[in-house]
Amino acid sequence: MAKVLVATGTSQNKMNKVVDILQSGLAAKGVTAEIVAENIYETNVEEVNPDVIVLVGVNKLETDIPTIDGVPFITGVGTDGVIDQVIAHIS
């Protein structure tokens, strides 16, 4: 199963909001993935080993893994586009 890392530098509530919106959006398009949510300042990307990273906040990650801007999940503008980008990386 594909794995998505949601990495945020924001509150736990905002992190959970991003995960919920992403899970719902993927499910609506018939796509399943394991979603792992972690604090951007504490995560070990190599340990999580995701297929794609949805990042909310300043990019402090040094990795070759595809990284997508997750700010639309907070603003509510452009979430479908982000979900489509995630699907493109995990399909």
Q: Which CATH number fits the domain that encloses residue 45? A: 3.40.50.2300
Specify the pLDDT at position 58.
79
Asked whether the beta carbons of 38 and 6 are under 8 A apart, the reply is: yes
Calculate mean pLDDT across residues 80-84.
Answer: 97
Gap between the Cα atoms of 13 and 90, Å rounded: 25
Specify the pLDDT at position 62.
85
Residue 9 pLDDT class (50, 70, 90 cuts): confident
Host domain of residue 24: 3-90
Task: State yes or no: pLDDT of 60 exceeds 90.
Answer: no
| Count of structural domains, the chain | 1
Calculate mean pLDDT across residues 20-25.
Answer: 97
Task: State yes or no: pLDDT of 40 exceeds 80.
Answer: yes
